[in-house]
Amino acid sequence: MKFTQPPEGEYEKHIVPVKGVSSLNFDPYAAEVLTNPYPHYEELREAGPIVWLERYGVYVVSHYNTVRDVLTNPDVFCSSAGVGLSNFHTEKPWRQPSIILEADQPEHTGVRAVFARILSPRALKKLTTTFEAEAETMIDRMLENGECDGVVDLAHAFPIKVFGDAVGIMNEGREHLLPYGDMVFNAFGPVNGRFKECLANLGPATEWIYEACKRENLTDDGFGAAFYAAADAGEITHEGAGLLVRTTLSAGLDTTIFTMGNALVNLGRHPDQWAILRDEPKRARAALEEVLRYDSTFHSFYRTTTREIELEGVKLDKNQKVLVLVASANRDPRHWTEPDKFDVTRKATGNMGFGAGIHGCAGQMIARMEGEIVLRTLATKVETIELLGEPSLHFNNTVRGYTSMPMRITAKKH
């Protein structure tokens, strides 16, 4: 695994789009947009189902149906050119591509099958009791203190502990996981100031990840060891096994951490919705789904055209990057009733918080399990959640979440 800095992008040199398409100078990565993206996404949707972004020389799709069409046509909208702005078919990838996320059929199919087997419902069932016990311990500790930080004490602490143990990585140095994930998700966007600053502050995270993915540094009973066993059986290569551990660590932590933080923020901001969940903890799974719809963690990623194709009446050239704005699809009024309302009783299934199609999140079962256990345990034990001040938003080119969330919680009286 070699990691190098990505090439500097000269996005302003891109040519204009074909006639008849709205062309905007909108920057989906601007701090102002990341602070509250939803009014901007609405403007974008109003401009049309497909819009040209002048600054980056890419098309963006933001309507529910168009996003779905792109994600479910992987032969035309491929992932092997990278799911970020950089085009691996024409530019050197900044790191060795993921053999699952950044692969196309037929190679993708076999790797995905190995991944799915290793993280099967049976394998996950064995982890339930441990995950539940850990959630109870953490939430009891927060209740003892009363005032706590929802991100630091729970949203961050829980996945780092339970998911890290499930993969089988060493305890020492787990603080490097988040900076590494932050860089990976920033790298899906442009080489902007945010990305450069992240890279400059990375420290030894990349080297630590490299070491953590080695077979000899993994426990014998985790997902990591199981990837190497699949390599022994000839299903994937040994190098591929290391890359799958890397993908699991980069795709599986920031995402769950931010999702749990987004859940806490939105439940704290909507006491009526918290009351519904608190009174019926079995709604935890549905509430998590609504969090993923209403405040999607993974906001956007790219696909690249493999040939000339017409999309929403627009002719796209081969090798064209298309920004897929799933967070906008999840708020599209053409699909959802009152999309800007956070409603834990809503049937939010069909939201694209985990993507869609053959690349739809391969870790969604364990992610849902973690999220559901945390929300259910909170709803079982906690009476009130009060946010103490504004939570600190974390700025990243691709994922949305918080780094700190001071809050006060009180226990339920049984």
Site residues for ligand HEM per CB under 6 A: 79, 83, 100-101, 112, 119, 247-248, 251-252, 255-256, 259, 297-298, 301, 353-355, 359, 361-363, 366-367
Give the closest residue to 344 by CA, choosing from 285, 268, 400, 391.
285
Q: Which is nearer to ligand HEM, 91 or 104 (CB)?
A: 104
What is the nearest approach in angstroms of ligand HEM to the Cβ of residue 119? Answer: 6
Pick 123 or 275: Cβ nearer ligand HEM = 123
Q: What share of the chain is helix, strand, coil (3-state, %, to 5)?
A: 50, 15, 40
For residue 208, CA distances in Å to 146, 178, 185 come to 35, 12, 18
Residue nearest ligand HEM, Cβ-based: 363
- The distance of closest approach from Cβ of residue 383 to ligand HEM in the complex, given in angstroms and rounded to an integer, is 26
The pair phi, psi for residue 136, each rounded to 5°, is: -60, -45
Q: How far is the CB of 410 from ligand HEM (least distance, A)?
A: 27
| Smallest gap from residue 20 Cβ to ligand HEM (A) | 28
407 - beta bridge partners? 148, 387
Are the C-beta atoms of residues 87 and 321 closer than 8 Å to each other? yes
Give the burial string for 181-219 (b: 16+ CB within 10 Å, else e): bbbbbbbbbbbbebbeebbeebeebbebbbebbebeebe
21 versus 329: smaller Cβ distance to ligand HEM: 329
Q: Give the residue from 216, 214, 221 showing the smallest Cα distance to 249.
A: 214
d(CA 394, CA 413): 35
Least Å distance, CB 166 to ligand HEM, is 8
Closer Cβ to ligand HEM, 142 or 263, answer by number: 263
Choose between 50 and 243: whose C-beta lies nearer to ligand HEM: 243
Residue 291 Cβ vs ligand HEM, minimum distance, rounded to whole Å: 9
